[in-house]
């Protein structure tokens, strides 16, 4: 019998149509994802996907199977929701999405410590998926770059103004610099976040503005970026969010000469009145970032 995880992977891949991109979004290895789909096909005795120049497409068997899998996953979602309602009766919930969840653990932990009455669900902010879903939106509130979203369905409030840095190991030739320009870095190997993320789009925009094509040698999630950086495979373009989280070991933060910043904002559905928990989270974020920026 296929596992729930296999069904979830199958449904997600049917929508994403790209194994590598989906693996990056799910924070799993491409090998693990591919093996899961292969085991599912072996258990069913059918081929679910075929490769085409434009990506993976469902076979006839895959199309039929997807219809039932989506019904199963939707029923499970409804069942979990009802159980959560019973379990959390009398408690208000908060569904929050972060552009980079690994960087905001301290924020969420300190909020929950101060407001233990709220049940919090955190999800990853997939910009393209949220844009496609609008005007519907699962998250009550989203923390992302100010320019990540542009929609008549969303309102926002800026909560921080993060400085942008070139991050290098302490042994790097740039390590003694007090500032640097992107033009000086054009030959340097950069480790970017996956394509489609808000910060990657922002990074490409910065390079384009100075007429430089970045030498991107890897596009990967935060766990892999940390590993590659610590092995001195490449350098990083980063913001105050990474600096606050003290994410990279042996890291020197060199501000850009242009004094570049990236505003971070909270987004919510314009026509939906913010819940008490969402308002509390918004106000907490404002105070949190003001305090962090002073330290």
**Domains of the chain and CATH, by start:** 4-87 (1.10.10.10), 92-159+263-294 (3.40.190.10), 163-261 (3.40.190.10)
Query: Cα–Cα distance between 76 and 82 in angstroms, integer?
Result: 10
Return the number of other C-beta atoms located less than 10 Å from residue 255's C-beta. Answer: 15
Return the number of other C-beta atoms located less than 10 Å from residue 11's C-beta. Answer: 16
DSSP 202-220: HHHHHHHHTT---EEEEE-
CA-based Rg of the chain, rounded to a whole angstrom? 21
pTM of the predicted structure, to 2 decimals: 0.65
Q: For the segment 177-229, what is each residue's pLDDT rounded down to a tens digit?
A: 999 999 999 899 999 998 888 899 999 999 999 999 999 999 998 889 889 99
Query: Cα–Cα distance between 41 and 198 in angstroms, integer?
Result: 34
Q: For the segment 241-278, what is each residue's pLDDT rounded down to a tens digit?
A: 888 888 888 899 999 998 899 999 999 988 888 888 99
Q: Are strands 215-219 and 189-192 parallel, antiparallel or unpaired?
A: parallel
pLDDT at 294: 60
**Peptide bond before residue 135 is cis, with ω within 30 degrees of 0:** yes
Query: Cα–Cα distance between 126 and 40 in angstroms, integer?
Result: 26
**63 pLDDT more than 70:** yes
Q: For the segment 25-47, what is each residue's pLDDT rounded down to a tens digit?
A: 888 888 989 999 999 999 999 99
H/E stretch holding 110 reads helix 105-114
Angle, CA 205 vertex, CA 202 and CA 210 arms, to 5°: 135
pLDDT-derived band at 87 (thresholds 50, 70, 90) equals low
Q: Are strands 215-219 and 236-239 parallel, antiparallel or unpaired?
A: unpaired
Q: Which of 105, 111, 238, 252 is nearest to 172 (CA)?
A: 252
Buried b (16+ CB within 10 A) or exposed e, 42-69: eeeeeebbeeeeeebebeeebeebbeeb
**295 pLDDT more than 60:** no
Residue with tokens 């996907």: 49
Q: Are strands 92-98 and 141-145 parallel, antiparallel or unpaired?
A: parallel
pLDDT-derived band at 86 (thresholds 50, 70, 90) equals low
CA 33, 38, 41, 43: dihedral to nearest 10 degrees?
-100
**102 pLDDT more than 80:** no
pLDDT-derived band at 89 (thresholds 50, 70, 90) equals low
**88 pLDDT more than 80:** no
Q: Are strands 118-124 and 189-192 parallel, antiparallel or unpaired?
A: unpaired
pLDDT-derived band at 176 (thresholds 50, 70, 90) equals very high
pLDDT at 90: 54
* Greatest mean pLDDT among 117-131, 161-175, 265-279: 161-175
């Amino acid at each position: 019998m296929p596992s729930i995880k296999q069904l979830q992977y199958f449904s997600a891949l049917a929508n994403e149509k790209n194994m590598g991109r989906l693996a990056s979004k799910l924070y799993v290895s491409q090998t693990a994802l591919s093996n899961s789909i292969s085991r599912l096909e072996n258990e069913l005795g059918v081929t679910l996907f075929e490769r085409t120049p434009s990506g993976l497409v469902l076979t006839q068997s895959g199309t039929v199977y997807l219809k039932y899998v989506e019904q199963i996953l939707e029923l499970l979602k409804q069942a979990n929701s009802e159980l959560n309602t019973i379990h959390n009766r009398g408690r208000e919930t908060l569904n929050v999405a972060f552009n980079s969840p690994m960087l905001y653990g301290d924020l969420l932990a300190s909020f929950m410590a101060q407001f233990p009455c709220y049940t919090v669900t955190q999800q990853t902010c997939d910009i393209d998926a949220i844009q496609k879903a609008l005007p519907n939106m699962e998250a009550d509130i989203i923390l992302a770059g100010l320019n990540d979203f542009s929609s008549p369905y969303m309102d926002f409030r800026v909560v921080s103004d993060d400085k942008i840095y070139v991050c290098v190991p302490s042994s790097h030739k740039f390590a003694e610099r007090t500032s640097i320009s992107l033009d000086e870095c054009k030959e340097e190997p950069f480790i970017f976040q996956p394509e489609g993320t808000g910060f990657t789009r922002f990074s490409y925009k910065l390079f384009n503005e100075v007429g430089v094509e970045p030498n991107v040698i890897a596009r990967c999630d935060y766990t892999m970026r940390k590993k590659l950086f610590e092995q001195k495979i490449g350098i990083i373009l980063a913001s105050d969010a990474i600096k606050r989280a003290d994410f990279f070991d042996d890291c020197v933060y060199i501000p850009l000469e242009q004094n570049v910043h990236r505003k971070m904002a909270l987004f919510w559905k314009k026509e939906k009145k913010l819940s008490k928990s969402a308002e509390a989270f918004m106000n907490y974020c404002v105070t949190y970032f003001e305090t962090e920026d002073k330290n």
